[in-house]
A and B are shown apart, each in its own frame.
Chain A
Amino acid sequence: MNILTGNDLKSGAVVWWDGGAWSHDVNAAADVGSDGDAINAREEAAQRVVSAYIIAADAGPHGIRPAHIKDRIRALGPTVRLDLTLQPGDADAATRVI
């Protein structure tokens, strides 16, 4: 699947396109298929999110897993500060980043 991610303009927080809005939860990310560029262009014009880009990801039993480690770390937060995890509801999320 292809998903769209960026950073919230105001807070800088990592966000994921859920099909209608931006979510802080990677597991809410929608498969944008081949529409990513169009959505990105529209959202760029709306100026809510900065540096948005399309990434490959897999949907598995534990949720959505970005293909590249950099985006898996963006989805989790720093692997060295698990007290700051962006996935507080998933105690094992850090074990699946690397």
Chain B
Amino acid sequence: MYQYDQYDQAMVDTRVAEFRDQTARRLDGRISEEAFRPLRLMNGLYLQLHAYMLRVAIPYGTLSGAQMRLLGDIADKYDRGYGHFTTRQNIQYNWIKLSEAPDILADLATVEMHAIQTSGNCIRNISADQYAGAAADEITDPRPYAELLRQWSSFHPEFCALPRKFKFAVIGSETDRAAMRLHDIGIQIVRNAAGELGCAFYVGGGMGRTPMIAPLINAFVPLDQLITYSEACLRVYNRYGRRDNKYKARIKILVHELGKDEYTRQVEAEFAHLLTQNIEPPLAEFARIKAFFADPAFDPAAPDAMPNGDPAFLRWVKANTAAHKARGYAIAVISLKPAGGIPGDASADQIRTMADLARDYSFDEARVTHTQNIVLPHVRKADLFALWQKLVDADLATANLDSIGDIIACPGLDYCSLANARSIPVAQRISEKFAAPVRQDAIGELKLKISGCINACGHHHAGHIGILGVDRKGVENYQLSLGGSEGADCSLGTITGPGFSEDGIVTAVEQVTEVYLAQKQGEERFLDTYRRIGMAPFKEAIYG
């Protein structure tokens, strides 16, 4: 994985010193909250319901064991013994003291981490396929390109004050595991008829109050023009994106209002101009970056047979591992979704355990997924049983990936000052109701996502079943939607009808699954059945 050079480290260290000085001046009253607020937000420090919240950037979700271990130590030293992995592949701490925030940033800097650009109207953390560099179906590893984008976008002077926040996702497979088309810019690395690699640019996607699926604006941008084309996309947005209305300021609104063709025309014109300016980083720099992402030393003699044995272990293997590109290896996913648990939360001890497991079983590397789980990308199949036993000991062996128990949920009204309703208790009740393995297995793949407000951090628009919490005259109410998908078959969910109480939404989800089980044909997933039979049978069951 990428390692800082002296410039990276100097930038981060300088920012820590700068924020330490700013914080000291705030605490002794030399600067006002109004002046300080944007400064702390630039360093990922929000004020939430109960305390300050620090969001730490995890570039494209990739962590070393040492970085993961430090995240656990921070949870103990500065927070209340746990952290929350987010849908942006980051981690958040919920109980931070302002007076200690500079010390946390200093600790993060010792392992090449920071919280820069995890807030504000700038280019946020670049997300990517969590199986990058490991997936059997990968065309190429997207992480070197994500890292190039990270370096380009960090402190980019032209894009530090965009009309609104801006999110990239990069994938290198046909299978979209990063919700790529629901980003401001989604980049899919593709191969053309001549066998050359390039980037398909999807621009203007997003969730929030106006969900949109990004249209394809250019099917093949040569890889050595990635930054130039990105710059052109951002320049047009920065020039014409609305700054008069926060709710219409995202690039999706600009692309929608201009129309895809006109936006594309303007980008291509800007791109042609920028090509004359030679802004693309030199190939030598990209080669330097790419060298950090070389394959680890896979053992060519690693046994390829999947281990056999304990039924619970085999169920975990079936649910929580994926095909690896190297013979004898598997991708293992640690679910942070135990039945009745808080999606994405992990205790300090669990975080340190995952760091140890990454070191011992996965070439010292782990990934955070946008579905709030943790990936060990390179595990020998022969080691899976030993790994699973250690996960069992740490209460991390839940076998439910992509099942109804693997729920995405934002922090909701339990933590977030923007939320209108609680998300976590709904997730807990649903995961408990469907906890029985036989029931989860009968339902199969069903992605359920819950947001506590219209900002959609819980990705409810993209849920096969989506739940949106709203405030109805001071009482929590939950809207249900069906048919969303974040993958290559991307679609937005449709609201079923009137909302429900907390009890009612749990019952409604159960009724929806019963309709599916009664109507499914063959090996249909929930989403397939919904798309075949439509909304009517589900509405009939829910509303009578």
Contacts and interface: CB of A to CB of B under 8 A. Distances in A.
B47 interface: yes
Contact of A69 (B33, B425, B476): B476
A13 B474 contact: no
Q: Is the interface of A mostly helix, strand, loop or mixed?
A: loop
B49 A9 contact: no
B36 to A, nearest CB: 9
A5 to B, nearest CB: 11
Interface residues of A, number: 25
Contact of B47 (A10, A50, A68, A81): A50
A53 to B, nearest CB: 11
B361 interface: no
Given A13-B51, A69-B476, A70-B49, A79 B425 contact: yes
Contacts of B29: 47
Interface residues of B, number: 30
Interface in B84-98: 94-98
A63 B209 CA distance: 38
A7 interface: yes
A59 interface: no
27 contacts: A7-B51, A10-B97, A11-B98, A11-B99, A12-B50, A12-B51, A12-B52, A12-B95, A12-B97, A14-B50, A47-B29, A51-B33, A51-B47, A69-B413, A70-B49, A70-B413, A70-B419, A74-B49, A77-B50, A78-B415, A80-B422, A80-B424, A80-B425, A84-B80, A84-B95, A86-B50, A98-B502
A73 interface: yes
Contacts of B50: 12-14, 74, 77-78, 86
Contacts, number: 72
B467 to A, nearest CB: 16
Interface string B81-124: 00000000000001111110000000000000000000000000
Nearest to B28: A47
A12 B96 contact: yes
Interface of B: 26-27, 29, 32-33, 47, 49-52, 80, 94-99, 342, 413-415, 419, 422, 424-425, 428, 474-476, 502
Contact of B49 (A67, A73, A84, A98): A73
A37 B32 CA distance: 19
Contact of B51 (A11, A47, A67): A11
Contacts of A14: 49-51
Contacts of A69: 413, 474-476
A79 B414 contact: yes
B290 to A, nearest CB: 42
